[in-house]
Amino acid sequence: AMSNELFKEIFGNVSWQVEPNNKQKDVRYFSTGNYMLKPSEFYYEYATGGKIGYTKDAGYTMVTTASKDNMDMIAVVMNCEKSEDRYTSTRKMFDYGFSHYKTVVLDGNDIGTKELEIYSGRYLWAKATFSVDVSFNVLLPSDKDDASVSYDIEVKDEKDPDLINAYVVLYLDGERIGEAK
């Protein structure tokens, strides 16, 4: 949902108004109940959206998003005994995440290209060039720097013209950490 810009805007609203309609003749004003988003003792400067809740079975609950230094996080807390517990628990999770991790951006243009010939049996069927035209955000422990990340283009199913695909493979200190088609 957070990749939908309209949802993000609505989720991050602190207050809003609803114009008169066929059911209500007056303008109505609403305000979020999430105190991490507005001036209060629980305000969190990096919070970007949130929704609070309470049921007898689930206790006090909250979903909150936060963004800092090109890193977005989502915290979900449930079954809190007191309303304020959801705020303190969420702050602890965000503070831990932002202090122990960071995001580095790998420019797709820096990854390069991979060229190969594709054969069908013994005959050259096609030549292919795989390249990357998007950037990657890579989550790293905060004690690592950009130099600890390396990458390669890996081709899978290169002997089958119908299934051939290329992947960017990411490594952290030489250890494979992920891939993207």
pLDDT single digits (tens) 157-180? 877 777 888 899 999 999 999 888
What percent of the chain shows pLDDT beyond 70? 100
pLDDT digits (tens, 9 = 90+) for 5-49: 999 988 999 998 999 999 999 999 999 999 999 999 999 999 999
Helix H, strand E, coil C: the string for the chain is CCCCHHHHHHHHCCEEEECCCCCCCCCEEEECCCCCCCCCCCCCCCEEEEEEEEECCCEEEEEEEEEECCEEEEEEEEEECCHHHHHHHHHHHHHHHHHHEEEEEECHHHHCEEEEEEEECCEEEEEEEEECCCCEEEEEECCCCHHHEEEEEEEECCCCCCCCEEEEEEEECCEEEEEEC
